[in-house]
Amino acid sequence: MHRRTFAKLTLAAPALFFARPALAREPEIYQEGGVAIDGSDPVGYFTNNGPVAGSSSVTVNYKGATWRFADQASADAFQSNPTAYEPAFGGYCAFAASRGYLAPTTPEAWTIYEDKLYLNANLRARELWLQDIPGNIAKGNANWPGILG
């Protein structure tokens, strides 16, 4: 082996040792099996004051996920203005986003604040979220979408 080749390998060795495999980016929308936000109708949070189960027969594909709706009127409302109904932080836990990480959500842990839907991982995360909604939104916005990977 030539000295030059040996020197290059010696200098490259630390980079190879510390190299980490590239991790896949998380989907922009929280989904399981391709279905957004646990199959809940996002319009229902606004029109029915809470979560409503969507139907597998009334769907809209948006941002790489299948969104389910309780009825065609909800699907039409969503399609006409999806940003009005899609949850903040892609439907991932808003409290987790404010802390710089991703977490799944449950339909029952939700808040509408200033006409925007925020979902949380569980009711305890929702309690923590409610303690400082404006501050948590600011922190989440600073982390988003970088926390997707």
100-135 confidence digits (pLDDT tens): 999 999 999 999 999 999 999 999 999 999 999 999
In this predicted structure, what is the pLDDT of residue 23?
55
Which of the residues in the chain have pLDDT under 70?
1-23
- What three-state secondary structure class fits 60? strand
Q: How far apart are CA 66 and CA 58, in angstroms?
A: 10
In this predicted structure, what is the pLDDT of residue 24?
76
Q: Where are the domains of the chain?
A: 27-84, 87-149
In this predicted structure, what is the pLDDT of residue 4?
47
SS (H, E, C) 99-140: CCCCCCCCCCCEEEECCEEEECCCHHHHHHHHCCHHHHHHHH
In this predicted structure, what is the pLDDT of residue 53?
98
pTM: 0.84
In this predicted structure, what is the pLDDT of residue 49?
93
In this predicted structure, what is the pLDDT of residue 11?
41
Give the amino acid at 51. Answer: P
What single-letter DSSP state applies at residue 37?
A: G
